[in-house]
Structure 1
Amino acid sequence: MDGAEFIASAITTGKLHGVGIGSSLAEVENVFRAGYVDDPDAEENLSLRRDYGLVEFSFNDGLAWTVVGASIEIHRLAVVEDLAAEWQEAQGVDFPEYLTWNEIAAEISRIPGHPELTPRTDQTGYIEYRSPTTRVSALVVDGDEERDEERDDWPGRGDVFSIALGQGAGPRAPAVRHLGVVRGARDVDRPRPWSRLWKIRSNRYMSLVTVA
């Protein structure tokens, strides 16, 4: 499966490799084999965010750990070295550094009974394509800036930035976050000034800071 097919399936089904809203933590772990970072609610232990590098899951209820949201951070593919290769090895999906909305829309159009996508243009610098039936949103870059082929580390106009699943799915502004413990991840390289995600490279447990 290639990246466009994977994204089209997520948008039309609301599932990532068969797991989605309402799935248990055990079900997610049974499907996703890549290294991850856990960022729990340290005070109440009522929520958990698990970051697999390309895909993130949010869980509610410290007893049951049920998926309440998920996202595919496509913009990281151009920033994090070897992320695409690691995802192909772990999940069997071939991702390029960039995916355009036209590529994904073409895949969606081939799926029988695919949902209608409602565009919203009131997002500064982005267009949000929303599927109300599957509760999935695609955030597409809509600024004046073309993709910078020379720098080659950030999506340009027409490229998909991220996909969000869940009732609260929608655009999210970049923000600095502290991530918890890394399992099966890689050493953190010194980031370039424009990097949105610190590169991960080792098989040790550690803490790191990332910019989404």
Structure 2
Amino acid sequence: MSDLDFYAHVATRCDVLGAGIGSGLAAWEAMVGPDYIDDGGDGLVRRDYGLVELSFSDADGLLSCFGIGVQVHRLVHGPCVPPPLEREYGEFAPRARFEELRSVILSVGCTVEPDDLSGDIHRYRVPESDARLLVIADPDPHGNGDHDVDDPEIHQPGDVWALSISPAWWRPR
């Protein structure tokens, strides 16, 4: 399996190694490991595993996950993949191309459709899971002119920035 298989799995199945929306802190630790940073207060906890970032709420009395983010953009800055993910999926590339991820998602029978193409980050939706894919459209949104389009070590247009899973964040308002 590959890093693209991991991203496609998250985008289509909305879980990481079996833990997903509604799973508690202990379930996530059992699946993804003990190497994380928790930041929280007022009934909310953000758990940061590097590549994977989770949001928990105690709205139902127990802390349960209500949001999963896969922060692909962090990989260009160095290793941040939890060991259980590396064991399952192998080495993760520093960047992921949207068209390659889209192809893997289509190959498992799901679709990808535009959700919001108006900014420097374009948002796409996987209707079958309601996952969102955030894709870099403009790597130099402030027009500084210091972006080297030929440098493979930095973000480029068409790179996946992140994946976002959260029924609470994306439901109609």
Q: TM-score, normalised by structure 2?
A: 0.82
- Write the letter of the residue equivalent to 2:62: A
Distance 2:157 2:102 in 1: 15
- Within 5 A, what are the aligned runs for 1:25-40? 25-33=25-33, 35-40=35-40
Q: Does 1:9 align with 2:9?
A: yes
Task: Judge conservation of contact 2:72–2:95 (CA < 8 Å) in 1.
Answer: yes
Aligned residues: 160
Match of 2:62 among 61, 64, 88: 64
Q: 1:55 to 1:16 in 2, by over 3 A?
A: same
Change (3 A) 1:147 1:3: farther
Check the 8 A contact 2:102/2:112 in 1, yes or no. Answer: no
Which protein has the bigger helix share? 2
> Structure with the greater relative contact order (CA < 8 A, sep ≥ 6): 1 or 2?
2
Gap regions ≥5 residues in structure 1: 171-212
- Conserved 8 A contact 1:147-1:157: no
Contact 1:34 1:90 in 2 (8 A): no
**Pair 1:95–1:144, CA change in 2 (3 A):** closer
Aligned-pair RMSD on alpha carbons? Answer: 2.3
The verdict on how the C-alpha distance between 1:9 and 1:28 changes in structure 2, with shifts beyond 3 A counting, is same
Correspondence for 1:131: 126
Q: Deviations over 1:64-122 (max 9, x none)?
A: 1100001000000001x3335xx3x33223210000011111111221x32x3221344
Letter in 2 for 1:15: D
Matched AA of 2:74:
R
Kept after mapping to 1: 8 A contact 2:116/2:124: no
Identity %: 27
Asked if the contact 1:12/1:134 (under 8 Å) is kept, the reply is: yes
- Write the distance in 1 (CA, Å) between the matches of 2:35 and 2:139: 36
Give the match for residue 84 of structure 2: 90
CA distance in 2, matches of 1:151, 1:2: 20
